[in-house]
Amino acid sequence: MTQYLLSVHHDGTAHDEAPSAEEMSSVFGAVDRFNATLQAEGVWVFAGGLMPIEQATTVDNTGDTPVITDGPFAESKEYLGGFWVIEAADLDAALAWAKEGSKACAERVEVRPFQGV
Amino acid sequence: MTSTAEAIERIFRAEYGRVVASLVGRFGDIDVAEDAASEALLVALDRWPVEGTPANPGGWLTTTASRKAIDTIRRERHRDAKHQAAQMISDDTPHEPTGIVEDDRLRLIFTCCHPALAPEARVALTLRLVGGLTIVEIAAAFLVPETTMAQRVTRAKAKIKGAHIPYRVPGLADLNERLAAVLAVLYLVFNEGYLATGGGEPIRGELTEEAIRLARVLHGLLPAEPEVTGLLALMLLIDARRAARLVCGELVPLPEQDRDGWDRERIAEGHVLVRDCLARNRPGRFQILAAINAVHTDASAWSETDWSQIATLYGQLAAIDTSPVVALNRAVAVAELDGPAVALAVVDRLGLSSYHPWHATRADLLRRLGRTAQARDAYTAAISITDNPAERAYLTRRREQLPR
C-alpha cells in the first residue's frame, strides 16, 4: 500500500466573484459525503481544507537569523486550498479516488505519491 | 559485426519484450529486468556461436536473464537489504478475472501506455521495453538528442516505480479507455514512420515495421478486440503502398501511384482483417479507417474507386470523430462524387489553416476549378508549413505545373 497526496489547487484569478451560498453548501455536502466514503472504505489517512492564502506566513531559517514574512513563499496564480492523504494499492486506485474527489470539490486534483517509509 | 552476432541480436530484439515482461512480472522491477536481459544477450553472444542457437531462444533468454536477475538481487540484498526491498513494484492485489488472456507483455504494454505518463514518454517506453529498440535508435527516430530521450525514459520509469503504476491489464470497466491509449501510441509510432514530421528521411520504414510488429503482438494477445484488429489492418493497408509512395525523393499521392508497386500480400492480409471486423459488427475509428483503405486498395485505379462507399464510411467516422480533419478527408471523396466546387465549399468552411493537408487539398480543388492564382497561393501556404522534404518536392512541382 502507498500513501498518496490528493491536493486541490485553487486558481486565485478564476473566482473573482465569490461562489453563492447554495454553490458552497452543495460542494461542502459533496465533500462531506466523499470523506465519509473514504473513511468507510478504509482509505482515509488525513484531510483538511486550508484558510485563504492571505493568511499564510512564511518562515525562512536557512540563513543566519530566522526571517518571518507575511504571505506565501512564492507568488503564484494557484494556491493549495486543501488536500486528502489516502492509502491505496496503486496509482490506478488513487486515480479512481481522485476522480471522485475532483467531482466532489468541483476543482482539479493533483495526485502525488509519498516517499516510501 | 559478424552475421552470427547480427542474427543473435535480431532474435534478441524480437524476444526482448517477452523476456523483459516476464522478468518484470517475476521480479517487479523494470531496471532489474532490463539489466538482466542485456546480460543474457552477452551470454548468448558468447555461447550460441559455439553451441548453436537453442530450439526455443526466447525461453533460453528468459531463463538465463532470470538467473542473472536472481544473482543481482542476492548481491543487492547482501549489500543493502533496504534498497532491495524498495525495488518492488507492488502488485499484491489478487487478479480480478478480466475475461481476457493474461500475458506479461500485455501487462507491460498497458504499463508503458499508462495515462499518467506523458504521451511522448509512452511512445518511448513502449518502443524501448516492448519493442526492444535502443535509446539511441528511439532518439534518432524522433529526432531528439540521445540524452533527452534517455532522461525521458528514466523519468518515466522512476514514475512507474515511485507512483506505483500497476503492472496489470486493466479490468473490463477501464479496458476500452486504456486500450485506446495503447492503440494511440502504436498509431503515433506508425504515422511518424509513414510521414516523418522532420526534415530528414521522408518515410521511415523501420518505424512503420515496428508499429506493425507491435500491433501484431497486441492482436495476437487480444484477437477479439475489433479496434486492435482494425488498427493492424489499417497499418497493413497503408504500409502496403509504401514502395509506390516515394519516387525519386518525391511523395506520390494516392491518385498518381503506380498500383503495381503495392504489396499485394499485405493488402490481402489487411482485407481479411477488415472482413473479420465487419463480422464482429462493433465498429470503431480504426476499423472504419481500415475499411476506407480497404476500398482504396480494392480499386485498380483512382478513377475506379467506389467513392460513394468512401463517403459513407467517412460519414460514419464523422459521427464518432467530429475532428475537422475527418471532414477534410470526406471532402476529397465528395469532390469525386459531386465535383470540386461542392468539395471546396466544404473545405473552406473547415478553416484548418495551420494544417498543411488543408492547404494542399484546397490547392488541388482550386486547380481543378481553374482558379490558378488562388491555387498557387494555397500550394505556397502548404509548402511553408511542411518540413517533410518529399512532400515539399511534390507540392512545389504541382505549383510549378500550374498554367501561367
Question: Among partner residues B114, B163, B170, which is closest to A113 by beta-carbon distance?
Answer: B163
- Are residues B143 and B172 located together in one domain of the fold? yes
Q: Kindly state the helix (H) or strand (E) to which residue A46 belongs, with its residue range.
A: strand A44-49
pLDDT at B53: 92
Q: Is residue B235 part of a domain?
A: no
Question: What's the whole-number mean pLDDT along residues B272-278?
Answer: 97
Confidence of residue B152 (pLDDT cuts 50, 70, 90): very high
Contact B93 A2 (CB under 8 A): no
* A90 near B CB under 8 A: yes
- Are residues B7 and B37 located together in one domain of the fold? yes
For residue A82, the Cα-to-chain-centroid distance in whole angstroms is 3
DSSP state of B242: G
Q: Is residue B92 part of a domain?
A: no
Question: What's the whole-number mean pLDDT along residues B357-382?
Answer: 96
Phi, psi of B247 (to 5 degrees): -125, 125
pLDDT at B379: 97
Q: Which three cell numbers stand for residue B297?
A: 486498395
A98 has a pLDDT exceeding 80: yes
Question: What's the whole-number mean pLDDT along residues B199-210?
Answer: 80
Residues of A with Cβ-Cβ distance to B174 under 8 angstroms: 92
CB B121 within 8 A of CB B156: yes
pLDDT at B122: 93
B207 has a pLDDT exceeding 70: yes
* C-alpha–C-alpha distance, residues A3 and A91, integer Å: 10
Q: How many CB atoms neighbour CB B61 within 10 A?
A: 26
pLDDT at B69: 94
pLDDT digits (tens, 9 = 90+) for B93-131: 444 444 344 578 889 999 999 999 998 899 999 989 988
Classify B75 as helix, strand or coil. Answer: helix
- Are residues B47 and B113 located together in one domain of the fold? no
- Are residues B80 and B8 located together in one domain of the fold? yes
* A113 near B CB under 8 A: yes
pLDDT digits (tens, 9 = 90+) for B11-40: 898 889 889 999 998 998 999 999 999 999
Q: Is residue B117 part of a domain?
A: yes
pLDDT at B289: 97
* C-alpha–C-alpha distance, residues B262 and B284, integer Å: 26
Question: Among partner residues B86, B164, B174, which is closest to A90 by beta-carbon distance?
Answer: B164
Say which residue, B313 or B197, is predicted with more confidence: B313
Q: Is residue B171 part of a domain?
A: yes
- Are residues B50 and B137 located together in one domain of the fold? no
Query: What residues 170-189 of chain B have any CB closer than 8 A to a CB of chain A?
Result: 170, 174
Domain count, chain B: 3
CB B125 within 8 A of CB B153: yes
Q: Is residue B241 part of a domain?
A: no
pLDDT at B13: 85
Q: Is residue B257 part of a domain?
A: no
* A110 near B CB under 8 A: no
DSSP state of B254: G
Confidence of residue B204 (pLDDT cuts 50, 70, 90): confident
pLDDT at B199: 63
Angstrom distances, CA of residue A88 to CA of A93, A109, B90, B91, B171: 6, 16, 11, 12, 17
Counting residues of chain B whose pLDDT is more than 90, the rounded percentage is 67
- Are residues B318 and B401 located together in one domain of the fold? yes
- Are residues B313 and B399 located together in one domain of the fold? yes
A13 has a pLDDT exceeding 70: no
Which residue segment(s) compose the domain that B14 sits in?
Answer: 3-85
Contact B166 A92 (CB under 8 A): yes
| CATH label of the domain that carries residue B379 | 1.25.40.10
- Domain closes at, from B85, B119, B144: B85
- Are residues B71 and B20 located together in one domain of the fold? yes
* C-alpha–C-alpha distance, residues B337 and B76, integer Å: 69
* A3 near B CB under 8 A: no
Counting residues of chain B whose pLDDT is more than 70, the rounded percentage is 93
Is the ipTM value over 0.90, yes or no?
no
| Cα–Cα–Cα angle for B157, B160, B165, rounded to 5 degrees | 160
Tell me the sheet residues that pair with B247: B250
Q: Is residue B200 part of a domain?
A: no
- Are residues B312 and B370 located together in one domain of the fold? yes
Contact B91 A113 (CB under 8 A): no
Confidence of residue A78 (pLDDT cuts 50, 70, 90): confident
pLDDT digits (tens, 9 = 90+) for B309-346: 999 999 999 999 888 999 999 999 999 999 999 999 99
Distance from CA of A25 to the nearest CA of B (A): 32
A24 has a pLDDT exceeding 90: no
Q: Which of B284, B190, B305 is nearest to B240 (CA)?
A: B190
pLDDT at A23: 83
pLDDT at A117: 59
Q: Is residue B30 part of a domain?
A: yes
- Are residues B71 and B122 located together in one domain of the fold? no
- Are residues B81 and B108 located together in one domain of the fold? no
* C-alpha–C-alpha distance, residues B132 and B5, integer Å: 16
* C-alpha–C-alpha distance, residues A90 and A87, integer Å: 9
- Domain closes at, from B58, B85, B112: B85
Q: How many CA atoms lie within 13 A of B84 on its CB side?
A: 14
- Are residues B120 and B34 located together in one domain of the fold? no
The full set of domains in chain A, from first to last, is 2-113 (3.30.70.1060)
pLDDT at B203: 80
Which residues contact residue B338 at a Cβ distance below 8 angstroms, ignoring those fewer than 6 apart? Answer: none
Phi, psi of A13 (to 5 degrees): -90, -20
Residue B269: Cβ-neighbour burial (10 angstroms; 0-12, 13-18, 19+): middle
* C-alpha–C-alpha distance, residues B130 and B17, integer Å: 4
pLDDT at A52: 87
Residues of A with Cβ-Cβ distance to B98 under 8 angstroms: none
